[in-house]
Amino acid sequence: MQVPLLDLKLQYQTLRDQIRAEVDQIMDSQIFIMGPKVEAFERAVCEYTGAAHAIGVSSGTDALLIALMGLGIGPGDAVITTPYTFFATAGSIARVGAAAVFIDIDPQTYNLSVPALRRYLEGCRTNAEGKLVSHAGQTIRALMPVHLYGLCCAMDEILELAARYGLPAIEDSAQALGADYPLRNGTGHAGAMGDFGCYSFFPSKNLGAFGDAGMVVCKDAGMAEKLRALRNHGGERRYYHKMIGGNFRLDALQAAVLSIKLPHLDSWSAMRRTNAALYRAEFARTGLDKVLTLPTEPYAASGLANQHIFNQFIIRAPRRDALCEHLAKAQIGHAIYYPLPLHLQECFAYLGYKQGDFPEAERAAQETLALPIFPELTPEQIHAVVEAIAAFYC
Ligand SMILES: *Cc1c(COP(=O)(O)O)cnc(C)c1O
């Protein structure tokens, strides 16, 4: 049985009529850029995440970029993040001229390691102006934790460190819209716990547009206004510019599609969790749970439904590359997120990192792979994936 890593056609079939009616309406209106559809989707995201302000932008990458621009981060500054994430996380830091400071990951959750972050921060000095200085001499301006694969970082601890060191937290929530975290003082929603949250609606994300789209949310009203201006070349009044922004606008078609899809997101997350549970049962049945490392769910005891939303289902596997070859032959969809950690990317050589600096990120890059987990996946398909893996190891 052939099993795709992702099949977006199935989801589209269930929403086809509704989406086509909306698209028709937009075609008739000929209002394509920004406008009421974008504003409605921004309000919907605020309602869904509990965020105070939402600004629709052109991609998840641009959401990160605009948050950094909003904070005025640039040359001479540093932003702390993880080396084990999609390129855009650190790419956006570099694009504003700042340096990415990498901290190793926790081997269980694949998210930023809190002890490693604490150790790094404790090793920093403060300069004459009282600003925190990185080991390489830049001013540390922000923390950028990434909620990888649909699981939130340990945000209680990260927010505590952010507060202690006076650093804003920018949550890269590109893989985590809808994920919840059991904060000490209530439920935290991915992206709405820190000062900024950045979402991606790239078609293959858990909430996917019909093209590129993104959203940045923030707590502060003044900052939201600044971000709205930056989204449109930095002008608050048309053709008058106090700041230099960019074209980071969201279009009406994407916003309309996303508004139709958003009310279904929780049920899709539930289907992903059902699939994850089925994988666990199948791996236990075949004894493969002793061979593979399955995803951890550190907040399961919290009782929060969306404690993990399985944007990806990631396993650690012995002889990973040979297993991938075997799966390719068996026509079982799979992917490696990510084969080369960011500190070892050629374009970041100037940051001065080397092999061995972040052993857990490096090990994860060599040992993990993603299996199909999309909501519409059937029990038969999950069975076929597990049987194919069993055939490799047995
Ligand atoms: C997808 C992704 C992004 C970038 O989003 P785009 O919409 O593709 O620009 C950023 N960070 C992470 C962790 C992602 O997975």
Query: Three-class SS string for 266-309?
Result: HHHHHHHHHHHHHHHHHHHHCCHHHCCECCCCCCHHHCCCCCCC
Kindly state if the Cβ of 254 falls inside 6 Å of ligand 1: no
| Residue-number span of the structural domain to which 208 is assigned | 8-263
Q: What is the CATH number of the domain that holds 284?
A: 3.90.1150.10
Q: What is the CATH number of the domain that holds 65?
A: 3.40.640.10
Q: Is residue 40 part of a domain?
A: yes
Q: Same structural domain for residues 338 and 207? A: no
C-alpha 40 – ligand 1 centre gap (Å):
23
Quote the number of domains for the chain.
Answer: 2
Band of the pLDDT at 76, cuts 50, 70, 90? very high
Give the angle subtended at the CA of 93 by the CAs of 136 and 355, to the nearest 5°. 55
SS3 content of the chain, % helix, strand, coil (to 5): 45, 15, 40
Mean pLDDT of the chain: 97
Band of the pLDDT at 236, cuts 50, 70, 90? confident
Q: Which of 204, 236, 263 is the last residue of a domain?
A: 263
> Stretch 291-306: mean pLDDT, rounded?
97
C-alpha 355 – ligand 1 centre gap (Å):
25
Q: Whose CA is nearest to atom 7 of ligand 1?
A: 60
Band of the pLDDT at 238, cuts 50, 70, 90? confident
Q: Same structural domain for residues 134 and 211? A: yes
C-alpha 315 – ligand 1 centre gap (Å):
21
Q: Is residue 39 part of a domain?
A: yes
> Stretch 73-88: mean pLDDT, rounded?
98
Q: Same structural domain for residues 271 and 354? A: yes
Q: Same structural domain for residues 246 and 359? A: no
Of 6, 81, 86, the one to substitute when testing ligand 1's pocket (max ligand atoms within 8 A of C-beta) is 86
> Stretch 314-330: mean pLDDT, rounded?
98
Atom of ligand 1 nearest to the CA of 88: 10
Look at residue 154 and tell me whether its pLDDT is greater than 90: yes
Q: Is residue 1 part of a domain?
A: no
Question: In the chain, pLDDT over 70 holds for what percent of residues?
Answer: 100
Q: Same structural domain for residues 352 and 212? A: no
Q: Same structural domain for residues 137 and 225? A: yes
Give the angle subtended at the CA of 38 by the CAs of 34 and 40, to the nearest 5°. 145
Structure tokens at 311: 């944007």
Give whole-number Cα distances, 238 to 63, 229, 234, 235, in Å: 22, 10, 9, 6
Atom of ligand 1 nearest to the CA of 213: 7
Look at residue 162 and tell me whether its pLDDT is greater than 90: yes
